A and B are shown apart, each in its own frame.
Chain A
């Protein structure tokens, strides 16, 4: 009975109803897209950074993240390799030695981060091999080096040229060796481009007199959403085979600045969302209150005829829910396919904006990502708005006294 009454009531002022529903639709579409965009951009940033270098997880010597020196190491033994490769949830693993070296060619010299990587494994974890713009990535050869584009520029060398790699070994001796440039790569991040050189793991271990030690083992998880499980599995797998204490760090610990950036960005987006919700709530409240005040006489008559105030309260509430419900349905019907289409067709960025995003290590592309919780969150929000905004008008309607209501006209 109340439902029918409510439905007829909201049909009585079509223009007002239309505007209110439109506001709700707009809110739902905006919420869904905003969440999809935030999720998509954030996931893109995480994936780019994870694949750029860090991996989802990193196995390191205990305390390596706080003190990145050669003293903190893991031993990359066949047993450790088997344990990590076999841990459930691990898609790929790549051991690395992180050193520091001076590269020199004639009068030109350049300090770089010297990475020793396993050419057979690295490509499964990071995109370094795909980043090569000239020559090739490391293969099985000895004393070959791949340089960041700007490093090569600074040293005035190119593919095929020789240069001297000079560093201090783990044994605290001077270590130096001639290397041949095998490839030149372009890192999306200019600072990396200016300070990166890769050699094979075997060469790095020989040069640094590091034996089977490595600085980190970067892992890619099969399912990024179940990182905690994978982390626990890896942690228990490595403790049984490693004599040294090891850390298993998630990317959030490896790249705290990325994690912080995402948290700040989330905070901004959700504050915006909060403001939006508030605006829509007041808009809805205004509409419903108007409709209640306009119908004072009618409501008074209903009360006089013996309708319970509680029933009036319910009537107003159902009206509000109907308005938001229609808005929600239409909104979702528009927003979900829209977001799905955007997810399939990300927007590529060009020009200056692209260069700017590149500095943050992100591919210049805007991606949507529609997850199941997103429309559910929008639904919950909209219902919340409806319940909240109807509270005062409904109470107002229910508390009306028939005599006053009739007289007030």
Chain B
């Protein structure tokens, strides 16, 4: 009983110890600065995903590369490792999401109803992979307060509430933003009933050019004890101009 009370207290501790927000900047301004820093017009990512689950004797590792063209509302993902999944690729061309499976040489369209399903067996969803909602356009922002020492640093806590009709599957998202570097370091996802469903922590902040970028993302679903998916960034580049032929069906089925 005492242990339970303790756990309950710990889970709500962050909310309890928040300090009142400053008069300036506004929540919206914080979100704008984060967006400018965190998400470029386009980005290339090479990362390793590590899936932990009680089902697996040891964590499963998978390496992938992604080309994200925010401006063109299109993105492309290709799996490199393990050998079994090599060549599996995803192409998002608004509003469709396609996936190519090399072993059976088939391209499938992933319907909107599948967007909340697991991506490659991980705790990330298809929606996470190719999210097309925009932090600035699709949400309203509200101060929750200032966390004086979130993992040792000051963090702004901003609530994101989706606007009516926005392509968002969450009721709201609470985002902890590193106050000095303006990088999100923690996101708590709530459903429409207000229940917290999952927590993503972003750590290992490193400089990439003029920005600071978290190189380790960890997703924990709260309804599945023992599950955790981590993405470790091997390489990330911003601001490149991508060739149009990356985002094509032909590229999807390409085999190296």
| Chain A interface (Cβ < 8 Å from any Cβ of B) | 70-71, 100, 102, 104, 107-111, 164, 166, 168-174, 176-178
Contact A174 B121 (CB under 8 A): yes
Whether A172 touches B104, Cβ cut-off 8 Å, given contacts A102-B114, A104-B109, is: no
Q: Which residue of A lies closest to B101 (CB)?
A: A176
Q: How far is the CA of A170 from the CA of B53 in the complex (A)?
A: 10
CB-defined contacts of B120 to chain A, threshold 8 Å: 168, 173-174
Contact A170 B60 (CB under 8 A): no
B67 nearest CB across to chain A (Å):
20
Which of A71, A107, A164, A174 gathers the greatest number of chain B CB atoms within 10 Å? A174
Whether A111 touches B55, Cβ cut-off 8 Å, given contacts A174-B85, A176-B104, is: no
Interface positions, chain B 115-130, Cβ under 8 Å from A, are 117-118, 120-122
Contact A102 B88 (CB under 8 A): no
CB-defined contacts of B121 to chain A, threshold 8 Å: 168-169, 171-174
Contact A111 B108 (CB under 8 A): no
Q: How large is the interface on B (under 10, 10 to 19, 20 to 34, 35 or more residues)?
A: 20 to 34
A49 nearest CB across to chain B (Å):
26
| Chain B interface (Cβ < 8 Å from any Cβ of A) | 51, 53-56, 60, 84-85, 88, 101, 103-104, 106, 108-111, 113-114, 117-118, 120-122
14 further A-B pairs in the complex, CB-CB below 8 A; given A102-B117, A171-B56, A176-B103: A71-B55, A100-B117, A102-B110, A102-B111, A109-B108, A111-B111, A111-B113, A164-B104, A166-B108, A171-B55, A171-B60, A171-B121, A173-B85, A174-B88
Q: How far is the CA of A212 from the CA of B121 in the complex (A)?
A: 21
Whether A172 touches B108, Cβ cut-off 8 Å, given contacts A71-B55, A111-B114, A164-B101, is: no
CB-defined contacts of B56 to chain A, threshold 8 Å: 171-172
Q: List 26 A-B contacts (CB under 8 A).
A: A102-B111, A104-B108, A104-B109, A109-B108, A109-B114, A110-B111, A111-B111, A111-B117, A164-B104, A164-B106, A164-B108, A168-B117, A168-B118, A168-B120, A168-B121, A171-B55, A171-B60, A172-B53, A172-B122, A173-B120, A173-B121, A174-B85, A174-B101, A174-B120, A176-B104, A178-B104
Contact B60 A172 (CB under 8 A): yes
CB-defined contacts of A172 to chain B, threshold 8 Å: 51, 53, 55-56, 60, 118, 121-122
Contact A109 B111 (CB under 8 A): yes
Q: How far is the CA of A206 from the CA of B104 in the complex (A)?
A: 16
Interchain CB contact (< 8 A) of B84 among A102, A104, A164, A173: A173
CB-defined contacts of B106 to chain A, threshold 8 Å: 104, 164, 176, 178
Q: How far is the CA of A169 from the CA of B53 in the complex (A)?
A: 13
Q: How far is the CA of A174 from the CA of B120 in the complex (A)?
A: 5
B219 nearest CB across to chain A (Å):
13
CB-defined contacts of A164 to chain B, threshold 8 Å: 101, 104, 106, 108
Q: Which residue of B lies closest to A173 (CB)?
A: B121
Contact B55 A170 (CB under 8 A): yes
Q: How far is the CA of A172 from the CA of B221 in the complex (A)?
A: 15
Q: Which residue of B lies closest to A104 (CB)?
A: B108
Q: Which residue of B lies closest to A163 (CB)?
A: B106
Q: How far is the CA of A176 from the CA of B106 in the complex (A)?
A: 10
Contact A173 B60 (CB under 8 A): yes
Contact B104 A177 (CB under 8 A): yes
CB-defined contacts of B104 to chain A, threshold 8 Å: 164, 176-178
